[in-house]
Chain A
Amino acid sequence: MSPQPQPPPGSSPARGASSQEAFAPEHGWCSQDVQRELPGLALLSNEILVGRAGSLTGSSPADISSRLRELSNRLRGAAAVGMRREPIPVAYRVFFRHIGLDPENARTPIEAAVLERMLRGGFLSEGLLADVLTIALIDTGVPVWALDADTVDGPLGIRASGAGERLGRSPEAPELPPGRLVIADASLPLAVLFGELAPGHEPRGRVRRLLLFALQVAGVPDLYVEEALWMCSAALESA
């Protein structure tokens, strides 16, 4: 973990600086009860056009692969243990407690990634999109998810699910228990908060338009969330 987020691979410093100045992610909505109960929670999203003509799950370019290797070398056991002292991972741990999740059982995204690195011996490449999201997560501590923008109806936001609602539009969408905190568009839940994406809404194959979103919790500065989104946007647009 580095306190200073690094520029994303695949973007030159000059282009990165200019694009970051103009970068303004959209703030999602939050239902009144969620806002009242969890005041620091915010959703930021950014829609991008993927630069790659091929599949997003295809192999990563050389610079992204080398960045993953570099992160694997940088993040060793001592850093993994010391992560519980760092402010951003701790903020997500605390938030997990506030929403009824035990971070010892349901790990926060950054801790899950670090544990995976320890078990597998490194951050193994899993395709362009997954690699870019992993790099942003490790660099900033802020998790970013991606949805197929063509399947999203309206702006994203956070709310509690109602009775009988399903996760996504596909026929095999699982039913959600009432009161589950979800990421939703104007009509339907598309993801469980810090959980799985709705089937049929994940970006697969040659998706061109992506909707990236990140979750900010109390104790995480805006800069880190925007940085995470910007890293993913810049890397995917220039891939």
Chain B
Amino acid sequence: MDVLRGARIRLSELSCAGMAQRRRPPVTAAPAPFRGHRRGWRSTRSAAVAAASAPRAGVPAGRRTATGAGKIRYPALAKESGVSQSQQLLIDRDLSVRRGDEMAARRSLQAQVTRLERELAQIVAEGFPHISPPQAHYLGGRPSAYALSSGAAANGPRLLSLEQLEQLRDHLAGALQDMRRRAQARLEHERRAHELLRCMKLEPGRYKFVRLPVSDLGQGNCGVWEVRPRFGLIGMLAGWWQVKLSSGCPLPRGSRAPRGPTHRTPPRAAVPPA
């Protein structure tokens, strides 16, 4: 048993050592900020998003998106008196990889925004008028009243930065969750209304004078199901109850003109003989 335990320990030590050896970064001439930039076990997309969006040690946040404008983008290196050729090659390679990563991340975010927007539009179209569209979203904060009225400043058409795309994706994902929740609640509301209508039709006497708008059933806006006594007072005393549907929406031409003497056509005047 001890022998087995010892062997197991040794095996685990060996495996851990092996993993540690595999995880050990290769010795390169690159400075510390560049060492971690390798593809590991993560998927390409998540790696691209993380590489493009996560702040990196030694790189100022404001410079993360400005790639390719110059040869050296890192102040620690820029302060040095000279950069060797191999270091410069590594810097160039890193910048091109980062540019590709950022582009992949942008493509991925745009695809997500497309899918979320389509789903949102679908839910709003199906749930109208009970589900209203989500509130307008302003990237980078709500603009001032002047900016809104003049159509100027921050909210015009522009190329979005990676952070703004992420912010937009998160907003749409949140809005979609909210809309799904509301759609589900609406479905549940309609299901309960259908159940109530079924019970009203089965046992109208138990639901005296209960009114159920057809809008609750998802069948339009006008009309009400109501449990009413048959033959008025007689039915009420005798316990004769029935479910009736009102006549629906008012006509577009309005109510009928009232009858009365004021609307009578005036008598035709006697035509004088020629």
Q: Mark A residues whose CB is within 8 Å of B.
A: 33-34, 36-38, 81-85, 90, 93-94, 97-102, 104-106, 160, 174, 177, 179-181, 192-196
- B159 lies within 8 A of A81 (CB): no
Q: Which residue of A lies closest to B114 (CB)?
A: A94
Residues of B within 8 A of A33 (CB): 159
- A104 lies within 8 A of B122 (CB): no
- B158 lies within 8 A of A180 (CB): yes
> With the chains together, A98 CA to B107 CA distance in Å?
11
Residue among B113, B117, B139 facing the most chain A CB atoms (10 A cut-off): B117
Residue among B154, B155, B159 facing the most chain A CB atoms (10 A cut-off): B159
Residues of B within 8 A of A193 (CB): 157
In the complex with contacts A84-B121, A84-B125, A94-B113, A180-B156 CB distance below 8 A: yes
In the complex with contacts A85-B125, A105-B136, A179-B159 CB distance below 8 A: yes
- B106 lies within 8 A of A100 (CB): no
**Closest 8 CB pairs between A and B?**
A105-B136, A84-B121, A84-B125, A181-B157, A99-B157, A193-B157, A102-B136, A104-B136
- B114 lies within 8 A of A177 (CB): no
Residues of B within 8 A of A90 (CB): 117-118, 121
Residues of A within 8 A of B136 (CB): 102, 104-105
Residues of B within 8 A of A94 (CB): 113-114, 117-118
Count class of interface residues, chain B: 20 to 34
- A97 lies within 8 A of B157 (CB): no
Q: Does B239 contact A (CB under 8 A)?
A: no
- A100 lies within 8 A of B117 (CB): no
In the complex with contacts A85-B125, A90-B118, A94-B118, A101-B113 CB distance below 8 A: no
Residues of A within 8 A of B61 (CB): none
B212-226 to A contact mask, C-beta < 8 Å, 1/0: 000000000000000
Residues of B within 8 A of A179 (CB): 158-159
Contact partner, A98, options B113, B134, B138, Cβ 8 Å: B113
- A177 lies within 8 A of B156 (CB): yes
